[in-house]
Amino acid sequence: MLVSGLECLRCEQPTELTPESYLCPRCGTGERASDAGILDVLYDYAAARKGLLGANGDADLFRYLPLLPVEERGQVPPVGWTPLYEAPALAGLGGLDSVLLKDETRNPTRALKDRATAVGVSRAKALGYEDIYCASAGNAAISLAGFSAYAGLRAHVFVPNAASEVRLGWLARFGADTRRSSGDYDFAFDEAEEMRSRGWYSRNCAFNPFLVEGKKTAGLEIAEQLGWSSPDLIVCPVGDACTLAAIGKAFRELTEMGIVDRLPRLIGVQSRATHPVVDRFDADRGRPVAAAGPATTTAASIDVKEPRNLTRLLNELERSGGTMIAVDDEEIGAAQRELAERSGIVVEFTSAASLGALRRLAEEETLAGQRAVLILTGGRPDDA
């Protein structure tokens, strides 16, 4: 393993690397839910560069083993190496040269979440755990449930009270121990975290520092699929903020290793009902914070009021010159229909927010000649 150390994103101090490292021992869970001492995994980048360019050819995320915190492929189904392809119907939007779809719906449980689960389950098995838990609006739980069924782990999943019958049905199919919270996702997260003391392994992607490394592989793939270069824009829905921040980290590591020559601008999208990252991004720039939107959103997978990996994403947005956009459910719904009717791909409601945000951005600025990537984070229909 080429992991060289851990550094806290909150106090910026290095901390001891152990197999069980979790939050920063100095900062702990911080003062607010979005303020925990989240650790960042660092690597021996000179050695990783050699390993990466002599790629092992695996057609899944383990092709990036030199930049992953695992010794070897674990007992997991193939994840990642998903296609990146052009949507001809979207070319020309805002003057864009091309719009590429990163189709994460092709993962084993049809969501990008499988990337973090692959790393979490690999580590849990290597460390001898039999139980693994997570809090989730649905996709992380379903992913963990499916992978646990494959690997012979017991999955314990904590979901919000409002979790749909459809999502509960998927958890039941995979045989997970499902705990329906009396509160929202943020409440379920706290309930789940109490279970670490029982000796269960955490698949909470923000807090367990090793898991975001799995999500990072989506970014590494995009770069490799573009011939080791960067697109101009990457658009992705934001909940706890792990996914887009991890993609940002991928490109930052690749620029530091001299493999790509610039960072893509990261464009994060949230719903007008729940947009804490948009608010924080605007407040940090002295901009007025948007008026309160509708009370609820159908974009369940990003309905997170206390984004656990906020600091990580704010850092990556700053470095990449990125921005945050809030969109209405009407825009998301229209984007979901458009992706199906004009690009032939069915995504879950939340995922379509990427296209909604790109349309917004195109109204605000000229994107002439640029290349944009939409991360289609999930493909399980919301009602089936």
Q: Collect all residues with Cβ–Cβ distance below 8 Å to 174 and sequence separation of at least 6.
A: 142, 145, 146, 148, 149, 155
Residue choice 241, 254, 317, 332 for contact with ligand PLP (CB under 6 A): 241
Collapsing DSSP to helix, strand or coil, 197 comes out as helix
Residue choice 15, 109, 204, 351 for contact with ligand PLP (CB under 6 A): 351
> Is residue 302 involved in binding ligand PLP (CB under 6 A)?
yes
Q: Vertex 340, ends 230 and 332: CA angle to 5°?
A: 75
Nearest-approach distance from CB 238 to ligand PLP, in angstroms: 5
> Is residue 10 involved in binding Zn ion (CB under 5 A)?
yes
Binding mask 272-301 for ligand PLP (x = CB under 6 A): -----------------------------x
Q: Return d(Cα 335, Cα 323) in angstroms, integer.
A: 20
Given a contact cutoff of 8 angstroms between Cβ atoms, the answer to whether 61 and 68 are in contact is yes
> Is residue 348 involved in binding ligand PLP (CB under 6 A)?
yes
Q: Which stretch binds ligand PLP (CB under 6 A): 19-27, 68-76, 288-296, 345-353?
A: 345-353
Dihedral sign of CA atoms 298, 304, 240, 280 in order: positive
Nearest-approach distance from CB 308 to Zn ion, in angstroms: 15
Nearest residue (CB) to ligand PLP, 134 versus 195 = 134
> Is residue 242 involved in binding ligand PLP (CB under 6 A)?
yes
Region 29-48 residues binding Zn ion, contact defined as CB under 5 A = 37
Q: Return d(Cα 278, Cα 292) in angstroms, integer.
A: 12
Q: Return d(Cα 211, Cα 137) in angstroms, integer.
A: 17
Q: Hey, what are 220's tokens?
A: 């590494």
Residue choice 122, 139, 230, 343 for contact with ligand PLP (CB under 6 A): 139
Nearest-approach distance from CB 10 to Zn ion, in angstroms: 4
Nearest residue (CB) to ligand PLP, 240 versus 253 = 240
DSSP alpha helix (H) spans, the chain:
45-53, 113-126, 139-151, 165-173, 185-193, 212-225, 242-256, 276-284, 310-320, 329-343, 353-364
Nearest residue (CB) to ligand PLP, 111 versus 220 = 111
Residues in contact with ligand PLP by CB under 6 A are: 111, 113, 139, 237-243, 301-302, 348, 350-351, 377-378
